[in-house]
Amino acid sequence: MEPSRSKGKKRKRSKSSRSDKRPLTKEAKVRHVSVHSALLSRLTPSGKVRPLTFLERTLLYLFGIICLAAIIVTLLVWKSRSTPQLEWADLGNLPTIEDHALGVSSEVSPDDPAYIEPLLCRGHANYALEKIEEILSTDKAFLNVRRNETQLQAIAISPWLGLQDDILFQARTDPERLEIYAASRAGPMDLGANRKRIEELRELLRQLHVVK
């Protein structure tokens, strides 16, 4: 009888040892969190994953859009500043504008959206070039103002982003006038800045009785 009792006790001990090992296997499990859940959800103090609220998601998307816009603007500014300046001494005619969204030109068809009226001079066109040189040279919004007997070129800088645009005036006769080219150096559009800039200059020259 005694040997059988000892066997029973041994069996009970083996069961208890197995039950002690089971909780250890459960605690050894590791929670795996995907990259998507890590970006669009939060871990609470208890370790559970809580989805972001609508406001939090909206702010996250807006932050991403702002970062993307900042990168695009930086690339545009870099491109506009790294583009070589026009070789004005070799230009017989105004450069062609491939897209009206880039700027304006007085040598395209009047039906073209990029068309702008040339500056009709009251006197000689060379005198008008001299006055434009005086105006642009004292304006901090213009760089590299250069003039010869027949044309003037400058680089205009936008006040907010610092984007650069090419501006070119060429003297013509019969009648005395200045043909105009003004376009963005970086693209894809100038948002009407060059047309506005030229029209403001035209009005100033009218007040000085230089153009009609």
pLDDT tens digits for range 160-181: 667 888 999 999 999 999 999 9
User: What percent of the chain is predicted at pLDDT more than 70?
Assistant: 65
- List of residues 6+ apart from 105 with CB closer than 8 A: 94, 95, 96, 97, 114, 115, 116, 180, 181, 182, 183
Confirm whether pTM is higher than 0.95: no
Confidence tier at 35 by pLDDT (50, 70, 90): very low
**What confidence tens digit (pLDDT) does each residue in 58-110 have?**
888 888 888 887 776 666 666 555 555 555 555 567 878 877 778 999 999 99
The owner of tokens 């970086």 is 186
pLDDT of residue 117: 96
Res 56: pLDDT: 77
Better pLDDT: 192 or 41: 192
- 108/43: higher pLDDT: 108
Q: 186 φ, ψ to 5°? A: -110, -35
Give the chain's length: 212
Where do the domains of the chain lie, and which CATH numbers do they carry? 2-78 (no CATH), 83-207 (3.30.310)
Taking the C-alpha atoms of residue 152 and residue 36, their distance in angstroms, rounded to an integer, is 57
